[in-house]
Every structure is written in C-alpha cells, then in structure tokens.
Amino acid sequence: MGSSRWLPLLIVVFYMAALLAVGFRFSRRQTSTDRYFTAKRSIPGWATGLSLLATLISSVTFIAYPGSAYAGNWTNLVPGFMVVLVLMLAGTVMIPFFRHAIGVSAYEYFGKRFGYPARVYSSMAFSLGHFSKMGFVFYLLALTAGSMTGWNTDRLIIVVGIITVAYTLVGGIEAVVWADVIQGFVLWIGIAICLAYLLFLPPGGPAAVVHLAWSSHKISLGSMAPDLTKPTFLVLSLYGFFFYLQKYTADQTIVQRYLVAKSDRAALRGIALGAALCVPVWTLFMLIGTLCWAFYRTTGEALPAYINKADKIFPFFITTHVPAGLAGLFLAALFGAAIANLSSDLNSLAAIGVQDYYLVLRPRATERQKLFAAKSIVAIAGLLCVVVATLLAHTQGTALSLWYTISGIVAGGLAGLFLLAFLCARASHTAAYIGIGASVLFTAWATLTLGGGKIWDLGSFNFPLHEYMIGVIGHLVLLGAGYAASFVFPNKVPAQRELTLWAWRRNRVISAQPSPVHQVYS
C-alpha cells in the first residue's frame, strides 16, 4: 500500500485489540462450563442472530464468493437459499426440541437415541469437517491480507492463531457472541464501502456496470437442466438443502446458538434473524464479484500477471482503488470475520471434547477440572488449525468449490443420522450403525473414484455424478440403510422411542391441554 501501508495496519491492530478486550471483559465470569459453553442461557435473541451471522460468514464469503462470481455467475449462491427453506420446514421444531433434549453437546442426542458409539461418530464427523473448514478460513485470510499488504503468510497465520486462541480461551461463548455482534456491524460497513466504489468508479456509473453484467449473463443462477453430473441449479439446491439441514440439526456451532438464548422464542427469533441476514450478505458478495468483472471490462484496466486466480481479483481492487483508511477497515472486517468464525468453532470443539469425551473418562471431574480441560482443548485445537492452514495454503482451484466439496464429503451423513433418529421410532442402535457403515463405505467409494477415477479407477464403476452429490447421497444412504435395517433390528427401548418427532409432538399437545382443576375453575 505504499506510503499508506501503516494506516491499514493500525486499523487492524486497533480492531484486533478491541476483540481481545471483549474476550478479557468476560473472562472473570467463566467459572463453570455452563457459563463457558452456554452463557447460562442469558443471551438476547437479537444478539444470537447477529452471532449466527458472524458464525456463517467467514473469509470464504469475503473472498471466495466474489471470486466465484467473477469467474462465472451466481451459481454458487444457490445453496445459500436453502437455509431459508430448512428453517421454514423444521426450525420451529428443532430449536425447542434441542433446547430441552440436550445439555451442551448436540451429539448428546445421538448418544441418547443410539448409544455412545453413535455419539462418538457424529462428534468426530463434526470435528473433521470443521477442521477442514477452519483451514480454509485461515488460507483465505492469509491469501487476502498477504496480497493487500505484503505481510508474510506464515507469520500471519501464526499471529491470527494466537489472537483467536487467546480471545476464545479466556472469554468463553459470551466473548464469542458479543464480539460477533460487533463484527456484524463492521461487516455491513465494509460491504457498503466496497459496493459504492464498484458502482460509481466505472464510466457510466451503476447503470452501465449492471447492464453489462446482466446482458453478459453474469447474474445467472446456472443451468436449470436436470443433470446431476454438473453443478446445475438442481445439484446445488440438493447440496444446499442437506448441507444446511446438517448444520441446523447436527452442527455444534449452530445448535450451541439455540442453547445460549434466554428462551425458546428468543432462540427461534435469533436463528431466523441470522438466516435472514445471511442470504443478503451472500448475495451482496456475489454482486461485488460481478461488479469487479464489470469494472475491469468497462475501464479496460489490465490486471498484473500475478493475479492468476479469481479469488485474488477483489483484494487487488481494494488495494488499488480504495483509499488506505477504508481499505484498512475492510481488512479489519476480514480479520474480524475470520476470528469470529474460528473462535466459534474452537469453543464448540471444546464443548464436545469435554461433554462427549472428557466427562466419559472422568465423570466425577470438578468444575475447575472441566474448565481446565475445555481451555486446553481450545489451545490444542487452535494449534492444529494453524498446521492445517499451512497444508492448505497452496490448494488449486477456487476456494469456494474446494470448501463445498470437502465439507460435503466429510460431513459423514449427519443429516441422515438425525433424520433416522428423529423420524424413525423403530430404528435401533444396530440399525443406525448399519446405516453409518453404509454411508461411510459409499463416501469412501465415491471419493476415491471421483472424476473418472483419479485416485482409484474402477472403469464403469466410478462415481458418475458431480462431486457435490457425494454429501447428498451419503445422507440418503445412511437414512435408507438404517431404516431398512430397522425392520430386522427394531427398537424395543421405550425411552429411546420417546426421543422422536412423533413423541415430542404428542407430549407438547398433552402439556398444552388444561388440567382438570383448570377446567373446573375456568
């Protein structure tokens, strides 16, 4: 950034210090794991919603969405639309159910329903999936900040890792949530600044760039053909539906947001607010990528040779066309988004580490010992994330496609497991394990034979569909195989059959009916 490179650095340092201050502000309250993981269910609904927004918005959104739109169209926006559909179909049931069925860990439900092995499988699937995602968050942050400032990528990853671990370790979920609230406001400021420059800098102004983008089919949602071998609208819709069904039913970072709210109604309002804000944010970042494409077409400005990936275009535009102070604010928002996203993941990993593993080994552990274990897990997981980030720093292809592919593969059929547990009362633990085994075998086969058998070529027996379909089919395989096995291995434990949608609805109806005493005196 030339002579002005210190101004963005000062803004970033100030913002990072503010986030750390939030962490230390809540550090004295962290006297129990209930406070550390759920804030004793004291967070207002609106803050829960903004925290969810920050949890779902990361450097993937800041960089990969504009890169995807610049290189193609708005096809990769399609999965995001499914978050609204998932909440419309199941949000009013899942949120109050989880708030009353579990304590801290989302995978406690699978343990109650199918036994401890199912709890271990689901928590491990979450952990593996989120380690891959956290690595991409680090990678994209380093890519962007390095291209904008010239900062060393390795040092940047280490510094961000230290800040993230420190802030998460001392402040618990309360620090995560309230820092997310701050990040939500900064995010919208950053978006507004970028859109203003992209719309009004080119000759002809907003009308010219929007007309060019529209006439060039850059604002298209992709092919509507019923083709499952390409990233069509159908493929991305199916992927998005199961991806967000998995997130809202078996993702600790989301389920934990249900638990921190003051009441069921506050939780529902907060989650709905977060989802409602996410879709416009994703859309605006797609618009930013499209406007970057239109800007360089209308101005005729040449891109330097080192801008060899679509993911690098938007950061380059910020560096060369936005004043240093405003660019620094954008950079601070990017850092804040990455840290907010990572801190949420780290707190969630600590929650399942303590609840699903540590307390099984040490059921009589004191609160002090549990808190020490939680903070140790945060530190260890943060270190591992730094290692993963360095391994992913030189990945090929657009980051968004890579993230979708990896997250779809390692999701482990968790949405299918939840559907089997929640909808199929007759499904026993044996049936669930058969379903899990079938899903794992399918995922391994599809992954190894993907793309014409790049890893393991089986000829006509290679996986024939698009890579996004692996996760979709993996969920359905688990559900189908588990349900079929339930006819051979039915569930005969009444307490487990009560942990289903049908029993939950029946109990809600009974509890809503007036008591005989109330009927007499009403």
Q: What is the CATH code for 2-411?
A: 1.20.1730.10
What is the pLDDT, as a whole number, of residue 4?
A: 55
Q: Would you mind telling me the total number of residues written for the chain in this entry?
A: 522
What is the pLDDT, as a whole number, of residue 407?
A: 54
- Give the CA angle between residues 440, 445, 449 to the nearest 5°: 150
Q: pTM for the whole thing?
A: 0.86
| Domain ranges, ordered by start, for the chain | 2-411, 412-522
What are the structure tokens assigned to 43, written together? 């967070």
For 165-193, the DSSP string reads HHHHHHHHHHHHHHHHHHHHHHHHHHHHH
Rg (CA), the chain: 24
Name every residue whose Cβ is closer than 8 Å to that of residue 434 and which is 6 or more positions away in sequence: 481, 482, 485, 489
Walk along the chain (522 residues) in steps of 10 and give the mean pLDDT of each run. 64 83 84 88 89 79 87 91 86 87 91 94 85 73 72 78 85 88 84 88 87 90 90 94 91 90 89 88 93 91 84 85 80 81 89 93 92 93 81 57 55 87 95 94 88 83 91 94 96 89 81 54 38
Q: Is 449 helix (H, G, I), strand (E, B) or coil?
A: coil
What is the pLDDT, as a whole number, of residue 1?
A: 44
What is the pLDDT, as a whole number, of residue 241?
A: 94
- B/e letters for 430-463, b = 16+ CB within 10 Å, e = fewer, are bbbbbbbebbbebbebbbebbeeeeeeeeeeebb
Q: Do residues 220 and 75 touch, judged by C-beta distance below 8 A?
A: yes
First to last CA, the chain: 74
What's the Cα-to-Cα distance from 256 to each of 338, 344, 350, rounded to whole Å? 19, 9, 12
For 227-257, the DSSP string reads -TTTT-HHHHHHHHHHHHHHHHHH-HHHHHH
* Nearest of 423, 392, 418 to residue 405 by alpha carbon: 392
d(CA 139, CA 157): 8
What is the pLDDT, as a whole number, of residue 154?
A: 76
Q: Is 43 helix (H, G, I), strand (E, B) or coil?
A: strand
